[in-house]
Structure 1
Amino acid sequence: MDSPGSVTANDWNALLPAEASPFMRHEYLAALHGSGSATPATGWTPRFLTLWRGDELHAACPLYLKGHSYGEYVFDWAWANAYAQHGLEYYPKALVAVPFTPVPGPRLLARDDAARAALVRALVALCRDEKLSSLHLLFANDADVQACSEAGLMLRHTVQFHWTNTAGWRRFDEFLASLAQEKRKKIRQERRKVADAGVTFRWSRGVDIAAADWDFFYRCYDRTYREHGNAPYLERDFFRRMASELPSSWLLFVAEHGGEPIASSLIALGDSVAYGRYWGALKRVDCLHFEACYYQPLQWCIENGFTRFEGGAQGEHKMARALMPVKTTSAHWLAHPAFADAVERFLEREGQGIENYLDHLAERNPFRDPSASPPPARSSPG
């Protein structure tokens, strides 16, 4: 399929497990394409793969042919360079992922394990038939990892940082009381700096997010990317589509100073999980990023019964805000036997490094009673 529109939203969404994030919903993927954010022109050529039994959709995945490795968050530039040094073409490659979205979850949507296994076999067969260098499945859940491992794909691990309300905190102060004194003091100091600067926050959710607030958010989002020398991945029309087609999945925080908006952060929502996604500011205020992207969302999660907050890719500084390390997994297949052997040996060494890194992070536990806090997770949730 050359777009998610080739299958109906009902058929696609019926394959989603109950705990799936909004990012694998048909509406989200269709908006990426319909808005011009993820298209062949931006390096994402859709080849969505579907398996049918008669008129019933039994398995599907968002498959792309990629001419680069931008917007993926699992870095394989070194692999591409090694191919180039040996006069081999690494691109185009096949990618099963949600564009620009490093959130763990299901990637191989299937009615059962047999259909999921058949989907993996079909992916590898497609790559062989089209003589593609490789197949990469990013930020997979446990069911996908098992299917890929059984099919002989190599596994690669990275680390993210997620907050979990394991103690059933009902107020932000209860959560703070669980932290070591040093961490508790630092958070209070950072929040006080923002408050003393005269900054206040308001939030709105779903259909209550006004069009003017969406416009202001995009100004912030666009400026943040351009300040770092890049154009934003997502077009303004993508967020218009989200506001009209998937409104209940979004929570917006707006920071104001003197009655004027100066910054915003946009959070995606699942059933009981919040996902930190985008932020930007038009005015610099000390510690404003921490308040907008961590403390306001965590306080909202506690007060509204959300049990997990995923902070996005990388960033061990998040541990100081009680976001704990979680191991995420991707799966990889390389057509060239010698390169596959070399990458497999590299992944073994890298994997041991990840385990050592998790052990190191465990020694920096921010909680007052580390034995009562969530340990570093060795597999991704969802």
Structure 2
Amino acid sequence: MSVSEQARRARTAAEALAVATRTVKDAALHAMADALVARTPEIVAANGADLAAGREAGLSAAILDRLALDEGRVADIADALREMAALPDPVGEVLRGSTLPNGLELRQIRVPFGVVGIIYEARPNVTVDAAGICLKSGNAALLRGSSSAAHSNAALVAVLRDAIADAGLPADAVQLLDATTRDSVKELMRARGLVDVLIPRGGASLIRTVVEESTVPVIETGVGNCHVYVDAAADIGKAVAITLNSKTQRLSTCNTAESLLVHAEIADAFLPPVLAALAETGVTVHGDARVAAYSDAVVAATDEDFATEYLSADIAVAVVDSLDAAVGHIRRYGSGHTDAIVTDSQSAAREFVARVDSAAVMVNASTRFTDGGEFGFGAEIGISTQKLHARGPMGLPELTSTKYVVTGDAHLRG
């Protein structure tokens, strides 16, 4: 089936979703969750085929980790759907309203986009997250995952479509596009008029290609070159703990810290323990000359190191002479995703928050908290680093547009 035909079927499904009640949509989400758990063995088996092919193809450990599913991960994915069902339905929410001087009643309300296309890499959990968040927000989803997860995605979508149909909604609310050829991506990016919005989720190359070549409007998600800045007024113990959690809690995510900046005044007290702790966890430090003076294990850092989203057991570290220098470094190398300051100085925290132009700015907290679930939004469809209506974790409201409803009583414009 062509992408155009799938998109037309999605538009038909979207018409039904747009008027579906919260009760019906939530029942479908619970049915999807229950079906995932009940059919876990076939999902894990399909995932095993992808993992075997990935190892044979030489995929990195980080990508294989993103790709892997087991009983626990499937259960977590199902729980995310149940949590989503408990969230308020954004559709129909009144954002503002008033009675105009002429007596017209004006309301601005949330409405679904319609058909949402998602292009993503490796992670099969995105298949379920995207399907669920689109359904809850009243949108039909066209999913184009990577070939590396083809078996996993096919198994997941088969389970989801069966559950959606059993709940009384169109199965075509969720469709999987062919991942064996790039033609499906090109067709999806050119399906203006059939697809309302595209969301790319993956590496810099994928995102850039979709943004530059798509004729369909794009909500741009971003890569995560996230920073932890340890200020002169930081508590050493807190700074070490936050650095370790930001870097090592899970290496393969976009909210993992890839760079560490240390104020020169605290370097003597902070760098020895943090370098030792990073070494114990197997992290390779790519440091500038001042960092290298504290350990022979430090690898000399290049400009490219400071601009890199490693997604691996590597971190770039530099000593800076001031908060101003830290902000300048982040502005030069950062991706606008998440940046953190560790400090006991309220004035330093305020200045950092005001000057760092990222989607999320953390004060004395790990960068790993930039996540839809951690923010209480439920499963996210991505983390946007652009500056349009959606920025940061994209939850249910970000998957809606608005329309104005104007109610009169034979009002005529003079």
* Both structures adopt the same fold (TM-score exceeding 0.5): no
Name the structure with the higher strand share.
1
Select the structure of larger CA radius of gyration.
2
